[in-house]
Amino acid sequence: MITSQVLPAEVLQVISDLVVQEALNVRVGRQLVPVEKVPPGTQVYKYRKFTGFSEVAEIPEGAEFPLEGIKFEDATIEIKKIGKAFKVTREENLANKIVPIANLAKDAARVVALKEDEVILNTLLKEAGETVKASASWSTGNPYNDVNDAIAEVEENYLYRPDVVVLHPDKVADLRRIDPDVRRPYMELVQSLGVKVVGTPQMPADKAIVLDTRNAGLLVIAEDISIEGPAYEQKSQSYLVNVFERFGVGVVRPSAVCVITGI
């Protein structure tokens, strides 16, 4: 008897839905930068990176407006592909083992989503326009003062409004310490500055990012997270499923980002 091995449509739909939902559950990077979707064939995205203002002068009646008032430099974002593959065995399919298959899909989506976060955070860290050194390690020092200093650095630049501080989970734990003077958790004190605390293991444990999420960066998506396949591999009697996405990240206004070091 000749057989043709194809995963049922309902199984494929379950895998696709789980991949999308797990990515939504895991990602934090998309809270930090605006998202722009571009055609799938895009390989390079061109944009202008803001570098400052020149002085604004009065314009006499009938005179031309000066073109040099806003300073930009041309920049590009390279669209790259990231992905993870997993296999569903023939026996898993025949036994209708939806839970093991679902876990494989979720694990693949998780690592792809975390990689996207890593790329976003590394780009913000590398291209940040401002830097503040912590007064001491946050395990013993005062995080409130350091975050306040970073916010001030960003606010001095064209009235950007920092609304998020990004930390490694170890440093989020440090914010749960109680300030000995006011007897309140540092978490409450930091949040009273008007910033949301976001924790992710993709952040270095010795740094924090304070930024204006509306102005700092840009995430360009050519193909959002999805699945490809399955392709049946006869020699192992398995179905190969790819989880992937294509995207790029850039910093549009470096002065809207401040990195705190030595925390």
Measured distance CA(109)–CA(99) in Å, rounded? 15
Give me the torsion for CA of 22, 27, 30, 32, rounded to 10°: 160
pLDDT digit string, tens, across residues 88-140: 888 887 776 677 778 888 999 999 999 999 999 999 999 999 999 999 999 99
pLDDT digits (tens, 9 = 90+) for 205-252: 999 999 999 999 999 999 999 988 788 888 888 888 899 999 999 999
pLDDT for residue 207: 98
What number is the average pLDDT over the span 167-172? 98
Asked if residue 10 lies in contact with residue 215, where contact means CB atoms within 8 angstroms, the answer is no
pLDDT computed for residue 61 by the predictor: 86
- List domains and CATH numbers for the chain: 9-53+70-261 (3.90.1690.10)
For the segment 135-146, what is each residue's pLDDT rounded down to a tens digit? 999 999 999 999
Residue 12 has pLDDT above 80, yes or no: no
Q: What is the pLDDT of residue 100?
A: 78
Q: Report d(CA 26, CA 10) in Å as an integer.
A: 24
Res 70: pLDDT: 73
Closest CA to 28 of 144, 124, 130: 124
For the whole model, what pTM was predicted?
Answer: 0.89
Is 225 within 8 Å of 242 (Cβ atoms)? no
The pLDDT tens digits for 15-70 are: 888 899 999 999 999 999 999 999 999 999 999 998 877 677 788 888 887 766 67
Q: Does pLDDT of 3 surpass 60?
A: no
- Which CA distances in Å does 110 have to 32, 101, 170, 243? 18, 14, 20, 10
Q: What pLDDT score was predicted for residue 6?
A: 62
138 vs 263: CA distance, rounded Å: 5
> Locate tokens 């314009």: which residue?
59
The CA distance from 100 to 105, in Å, is: 9
Q: What DSSP string describes the chain? A: --------HHHHHHHHHHHHHHHHHH--GGGTS-EEE--TT--EEEEEEEEEEPPP----TTPPPPS-SEEEEEEEEE-EEEEEEEEEEHHHHHTT-HHHHHHHHHHHHHHHHHHHHHHHHHHHHHH-SEEEE-SS-TTTS-HHHHHHHHHHHHHTTTT----EEEE-HHHHHHTTSBPTTT-SBHHHHHHTTT-EEEE-TTS-TTEEEEE-TTTSEEEEEEEEEEEEEEEEETTTTEEEEEEEEEEEEEES-GGGEEEEE--
Q: Which residues pair with 258 in a beta bridge?
A: 130, 210
